[in-house]
Structure 1
Amino acid sequence: MGFNALSRTSSHRKAMKRNMVTSLFRYERIETTKAKALEVRRMAEKMITRAKVDTVANRRLIARDITDKAVAAKLFTEIAPMYADRNGGYTRILKTGNRLGDAAEMVILELVEKTEGKGGKKAKKAEKAKKAEKAKKATKPATQEPKDEKEE
C-alpha cells in the first residue's frame, strides 16, 4: 500500500504528520487539506487501535509519534476507551470547500465521538438555564410597583 509524499522530504513529512496527529488528539478536530488529512487519518486510526490495549510496548510505540506526553496520556485514558466497541472508523473527513489562495480542497478531520472535556454540552446548557433563572429572579422584584411610603 502506497503513501502520498505530499511534496516534502521524508523528515519534513514525518514531522508534519506527527504534529498533525498530536493536534488531532489534543483538539479532536483539525482543518487541513484533503491530501494531508488522508495521510494523518491512516496514522491516527492505527494509533487509536493500538491504544485500546494499554501495554508498555504500545505506550512506547505511540510515544514515538505523539510529541506531547499529556496528549499521549489522553489518548490512552480518554480517547481509546470511547472506541472499545468500534473496529476502526474512528475519524471522519468533512469537506469545507476550497482555500481562497490556491484553491486547495480543504477538509475538517475529526474524531467520530467527542470526549466530554470540562463540562460538555449538557453542563453548558445547565449553566445557561441557571443564569436564566437568576436573571428572572433579579427582574421580578424590579417589575413590581413601588409602594408609596405615605400609605403605610
Structure 2
Amino acid sequence: MVYDTTALTVPGRLEDIESHIMHGEQARVASAVPVKLMLADDHVGMISLWRPATADSVLIIHTSSLLTALRALFESAWNRASPYSVKGDTLSGDNRRLPTLLAARLTDESIARQLGWHPSTVQRRVRRLMDKLGVRTRFQAGMHAQREGWL
C-alpha cells in the first residue's frame, strides 16, 4: 500500500496503518500520490474517478493496456515512496514513530498534530533522537534509522 502523506494527518490513521502492517501489509508513504487505485491481480483493478477520491465513483478496469499503465504507475509510486515501518524496538512509544514520519517528509507541524504534541515538542524529541544516535543532521538520522531497520 502506498499512502499519501495527507493520509497520515488524519487523526487515528497511524494506528490503523500500523495495525495493517502488524497483520502483514507492506506500506510506504509518498507525497503527491496522483490517484487512488487498487490492483487486485493481473486481471482487474479499480481507479477513483474523482479527486479527492470517493468510494462511490470508481472505474473497474479489466485486462487492458490501461491496467498495465496503472500497474506501472503503482510501481513508480512504490519505488519513490518511503517505507513505513512499526519497527524501532530501541525506541519507545510515540518516539518510534518519529523516524517514519520524518522519512515521509511530514512537517514538524503535521507530526505535532498527528501525535498530539506541540511543534516545539517535536523539535525537542527530534533533537533528542539525533543526540541518541550521535548524528548532527536529520538526513544522518534518517540514514541511521534505515541501517537499523526502523524504516
Give TM-score scaled by structure 2 length: 0.23
- Structure possessing the higher radius of gyration over alpha carbons: 1
